[in-house]
Structure 1
Amino acid sequence: MTTVRISPCALSGDIEVPPSKSLLHRGLVCAALAGDLSRCVLPPEDALSDDIRTTLACLRDILAAEADTEPLGLFCGESGTTLRLLVPVLAALGIEAAIDGAGRLPSRPMAEYQAAFAGHETTLEFPGDGTFLPLLLRGRLTPGRFVIPGNVSSQYVSGLLLALPLLDGDSEIVLASPLESEPYVDMTLDVMRHFGVGATRTAEGYHVPGRQPYHAAEDYVPEPDFSQAAFWQLAAFLGHGVAVANLPARTSQGDSAFAGMLERLADDGGGDPRVFDVAQTPDLVPALAAAAAAARGETRLVNAARLRLKESDRLVATEAMLRAFGVAAEALPDGLVVHGGGGRFRGGAVNGCRDHRIVMAAAMLATRAEGETTIVGGDAVAKSYPTFFEDFRNAGGIAHEFDVG
């Protein structure tokens, strides 16, 4: 584990953020289903995040699997996206698999797929307690009607969308509750279209025609990542002279909304409590909470209960991170309250909670703190943005990393 010591500093320059992790996951799955992983363009080796390495390794194993090799052992590391996208794909291909993970991944829910696959000749067996990893996947998925909640994880919907075109008949995805994080599903559909596969929105959910072959007329190049850009936009909000240079003007990435959120924080005089509904953009919560800490007055982030099932309990972790900087904050069952003080922070010790987004938000606040800040577990950025601290130092940041074992 790495601890990072950050001193107050000024950041400046143009930043180029890495390709979208969400789009890379989806692009790699589609490329694999088209029979050629190389059709999805990857960043340089040193910029490959841990999660993308995990998806790559699993897909290579799937492509190399022999028909008589059962079960196929797959390790999803700490990547919830890898797990949730690949389970229905494996089921559609009829590949029996024994799947496990690490960190908090085994405690993240999987029962929704078990229920959705009922009646489709596919079973999920959980050798341990409850419906958590490890799991054994058996059978070959049959087409039809798949009922899935929309408010637990949009990745369930994305996984089904990727898998159902492979079946020998049409299917319907029925949302049992309103869909949250819908922009991530839109991203899935965008990538599928690039690979010649489609689905249509219906009143109940999605209609997915079967017998659709994946193919690519040209390589898929993922857009830069608005989720990572948010931390540099946060830096600019804190008064640093930085800008993200490579963001597209048009995108399906929901986290592109962050710039507008910052404008609202800047324009608000701090009177009545401002409220942000983050149901569609939950990954922005650490960066948005950090920006709210630099604003004046009370800010409420609502509809974020799913964040309790991320790499950390991200609501509790964000509250603790803000309190380490002397900011009054309170985690609620489904959100967070932040009492902004206009940008006055004290240095201190932050527990990164093995959560990449907590670490990056804390690093930006540390640049404006009075005194040094230490962040325990700074190496968590490898999950999504392994070159973050390199980019941070190149922009003028003062960050010293040291291994604490």
Structure 2
Amino acid sequence: MELKVEQASEIKGVVKAPPSKSYTHRALMVACLAEGESRLQDPLYSADTMATLEACQALGCEVEVGDDHCIVQGTGGDLETPGDVLDLKNSGTTLRFLTTMTGLTPGCTVLTGDDSLRGRPMQDLLDSLSMLGVKAYSTRNNGLPPMVITSGFPGGRSEIKGDVSSQYISSILLSAPYAQNPVDLQVIGDFKSRPYVEMTLDIMDKFGVYCQQRPGNQFHLEKQTYQARDYTIEGDYSSASYLLGAAALLEGEITVQNLFKGSKQGDKIIVDILENMGANLIVKEDQVTVKGTLEPDKSIKSRNDKSSRSGIDDSTKSSNVTGDLLFTSNLQGIEVNLENSPDLLPTVAALAAVSQGTSHIMGVEHARYKETDRVHTMALELSKLGVQLKEEPDGLIIRGGAHGGEVESHSDHRLVMALTLVGLLTGDMRIKNAASHQVSFPNFPQVMMGLGCPVEII
């Protein structure tokens, strides 16, 4: 599947944000471990979250799937050993969370996935689990899936590095209430992506489990049991970033509902980022409105200043020429640290590619360990569109000035949607292997078309 994206001069409408992928994963697993029946309202049904749902079923949890809800019959932590190897497709979250959770089964569990998933590093989590008595190992002894986990979660004291993946930390915390003994987890070094751990603690608390946070990034969990409840999944700021970003680039106005001002999602920083880039936003308790403007011109205006900091020629404002008409983005370049919201890297990089001036994105070295090395793949694909940039170990320096062209998604859902933003301004964009958007935003093309954006599946 490919996406063909043409220039869109206007965007308009009201749309509900897709449900949070992160909260859906966590809600399914906690409801699976809980005692009693939980009703999860507005879950995200995507490739990744279905991998989690089906894995919970394989562990003996009954899940009734409805259009806008699912009913989960909790196991109380009494999990079954899967009857077969669990194929988790491309879901790194599912892999990491289940690596701890399947230690609660009475037998032996094997976790695997597609080619991309089998390249996801796991050794730091394996080392930390070993200190807690969990026997989990890589079948090839290289720290990569397939993984084998045998029965038993004794508990005790452990430590884990905080600068690789917050999912390792969340994995241990989610299942720690069911360990045989209390669990003390020490996060060492830089604690990156901490908001994702705060989301984990939030949903644990909602289902009745208390985690004591101690000074120095220490977490203490006593033996406890989750209690079933009715729970509504909030909208996803990561997925909404493409909608909000498109509105900031184009003429018109959209309102994205189900985005909560008090959310613990780190990616809600996209609102501040867009405001700092010059977008006009109205933020309410449960929705965000963006009013965009597009500047027509007849000539490309040069600004022959140089950026001594980046060493990149910052001489042309971001523009798109269609026939005799030139459109330029009114967004300005930005310097931003995305250490706590690495999933926004593709969105912000795409916006930077069609903004005026030079942007510097930093703090995202851990984004190299996602579905793809997102620092490198974004640099590679934007360079195909004429963008001058510099790849750094932990980020990108980007000068606005993209044009249309053909790009590759690398089967990464966030690249598909981020590169679509560039095409909405430049036109003449084709995104290859675009079906991966279904991982987190299954109806993304349809939603964009409904807002007046010429995005076509071919």
**Partner letter of residue 233 of structure 2?**
P
Counterpart position of 1:29: 29
**Partner letter of residue 307 of structure 1?**
A
Q: Deviations over 1:168-225 (max 9, x none)?
A: 3321111122211000000001111110012122223333332211113x31111000
Counterpart position of 2:357: 297
DSSP-derived class of the 1:367 partner? helix
Cα distance change on mapping 1:67 and 1:397 into 2, 3 Å: closer
Cα displacement (A) at 1:67: 7.8
| Alignment of structure 1 residues 117-136 onto 2, 5 Å | 117-136=129-148
Which stretch shifts more, 181-190 or 92-101?
A: 92-101
Conserved? CA contact 2:367–2:374, under 8 Å: yes
Counterpart position of 2:5: 6
**Partner letter of residue 250 of structure 1?**
G
1:249 to 253, 261, 265: 261
DSSP-derived class of the 1:98 partner? strand
Distance 1:257 1:221 in 2: 22
Larger Rg: 2
| Alignment of structure 1 residues 358-397 onto 2, 5 Å | 358-369=415-426, 371-397=427-453
**Partner letter of residue 124 of structure 1?**
A
Cα displacement (A) at 1:71: 7.1
Cα displacement (A) at 1:275: 2.6
1:146 to 158, 171, 176: 158
Distance 1:232 1:106 in 2: 31
Conserved? CA contact 1:126–1:132, under 8 Å: yes
Among all aligned residue pairs of Structure 1 and Structure 2, give the percentage whose two residues are the same amino acid.
30
Conserved? CA contact 2:118–2:146, under 8 Å: yes
Cα distance change on mapping 1:194 and 1:355 into 2, 3 Å: same
Q: Deviations over 1:330-365 (max 9, x none)?
A: 222221111124xxx421101111111111111121
User: Which one has a larger percent helix, Structure 1 or Structure 2?
Assistant: 1
Cα distance change on mapping 1:126 and 1:245 into 2, 3 Å: closer
* Runs (5+) with no aligned partner, structure 2: 62-74, 280-302, 310-333
Counterpart position of 1:48: 45
**Partner letter of residue 48 of structure 1?**
Y
Conserved? CA contact 1:327–1:340, under 8 Å: yes
2:179 to 167, 170, 179: 167
**Partner letter of residue 58 of structure 2?**
D
Counterpart position of 1:202: 214
Counterpart position of 1:157: 169
| Alignment of structure 1 residues 259-298 onto 2, 5 Å | 259-266=271-278, 274-298=334-358
Cα displacement (A) at 1:325: 2.9
Distance 2:82 2:422 in 1: 50
Distance 1:68 1:258 in 2: 41
Conserved? CA contact 1:164–1:208, under 8 Å: no
User: Which one has a larger percent strand, Structure 1 or Structure 2?
Assistant: 2
Distance 2:411 2:351 in 1: 21
| Alignment of structure 1 residues 205-220 onto 2, 5 Å | 205-216=217-228, 218-220=229-231
Cα displacement (A) at 1:113: 2.2
Cα displacement (A) at 1:58: 0.3
2:205 to 184, 190, 193: 193
Aligned pair count reads 392
Conserved? CA contact 1:71–1:96, under 8 Å: no
DSSP-derived class of the 2:347 partner? helix
Cα displacement (A) at 1:77: 1.0
Conserved? CA contact 1:262–1:291, under 8 Å: no
Greater RCO, CA 8 A, separation 6+: 1
Cα displacement (A) at 1:37: 6.9
Conserved? CA contact 1:330–1:338, under 8 Å: yes
TM-score (norm 2): 0.81
**Pair 1:79 & 2:91 matched:** yes
DSSP-derived class of the 2:232 partner? coil
Which stretch shifts more, 220-229 or 170-179?
A: 170-179
Counterpart position of 2:284: none
Which stretch shifts more, 6-15 or 73-82?
A: 6-15
Cα distance change on mapping 1:120 and 1:172 into 2, 3 Å: closer
DSSP-derived class of the 2:346 partner? helix
1:235 to 235, 242, 246: 246
* Runs (5+) with no aligned partner, structure 1: none
Distance 2:240 2:82 in 1: 42
Distance 2:306 2:261 in 1: 33
Q: Deviations over 1:209-250 (max 9, x none)?
A: 32211113x311110001111111111221242231331121
Counterpart position of 2:376: 316
Distance 1:173 1:271 in 2: 48
Cα displacement (A) at 1:38: 4.7
Runs of 4+ in structure 1 off by over 6 angstroms are: 65-68, 269-273
Counterpart position of 2:413: 356
Cα distance change on mapping 1:332 and 1:140 into 2, 3 Å: same
Conserved? CA contact 1:266–1:295, under 8 Å: no
DSSP-derived class of the 2:5 partner? strand
- CA RMSD in angstroms, aligned pairs only: 2.3
Counterpart position of 2:320: none
Cα displacement (A) at 1:80: 0.6
Conserved? CA contact 2:156–2:184, under 8 Å: yes
Counterpart position of 1:113: 125
Cα displacement (A) at 1:100: 0.6
DSSP-derived class of the 2:358 partner? strand
